[in-house]
Amino acid sequence: MTQNGVMSHLPAYLVGALVAYFTSVGVDILVNRDRYAKSDRHNWQRIVPGAKHWISLAGLLFLTATLFCLRTIVGSAREDAAHQLQVMNGMVLLMAACSIGCLWQIRRIHRANVCFRYSMLSYSNRAGIERLRPMTEVAAISQDAPGKLIIMFVDDESLTLDPDAKGITELCFMIDATKFHYLTA
């Protein structure tokens, strides 16, 4: 039996289960790649995408795939089916665009390559050049309107970080401790 030119004999729960499985496998591969990535610097803490990034990506990919499968496999038998499928196309495109935005944010965190240890901070600036700086050169830490964390240095260079990334709290503590001499190392 076909509907809208597509085979529609698969039950919706099976399609949903398959979509959920493949989405979770894909996100698991990305998370494990991130977890076991080797740092250039031994025993340095890295800033990596946090749980909110991965959960957002998994949820958006799952919704995109589910809506796409519902649109292609199930279709619609209502009298306003054309309009209903256009709305679903819009929803699929919106979810896909949000997924791409989430992937872009994860890539941005990786490209910044922020590592820290004791009173030293290593990162890649906007030009991709790796910088190694003492934390005593940090002039200020602030947040902009969307909530991004901005670390300003004494030479007016800045480093913009996502506050939801894993390791941001420890980095801010280390900067604070270094600036006020809580650490002896």
For 89-139, how does the pLDDT look when each residue is reduced to its tens digit (9 = 90+)?
Answer: 788 888 888 888 888 888 889 889 899 998 899 999 888 889 999 999 999
For tokens 């990334």, name the residue. Answer: 165
pLDDT at 59 over 90: no
Strand partners, 122: 115, 132
What's the rounded mean pLDDT across residues 1-11? 48
Query: Domain segments of the chain: what residues?
Result: 2-112, 115-179
pTM recorded for the entire structure:
0.71
The string of pLDDT tens digits covering residues 26-52 is: 767 766 766 655 556 678 899 999 889
Tell me the average pLDDT of the chain.
Answer: 79
pLDDT value at position 41?
A: 66
Give the CA angle between residues 36, 43, 35 to the nearest 5°.
15
DSSP state of 112: H
What's the rounded mean pLDDT across residues 9-16? 57
Fold of 115-179: OB fold (Dihydrolipoamide Acetyltransferase, E2P) (2.40.50)
Q: Give the helix/strand (H/E) hosting 46.
A: strand 45-46
Residue 151's pLDDT band, with cuts at 50, 70 and 90, is very high
Cα dihedral angle (73, 79, 85, 87), rounded to 10 degrees?
-150
Residue 6's pLDDT band, with cuts at 50, 70 and 90, is very low
pLDDT value at position 64?
A: 82
Residue 185's pLDDT band, with cuts at 50, 70 and 90, is very low
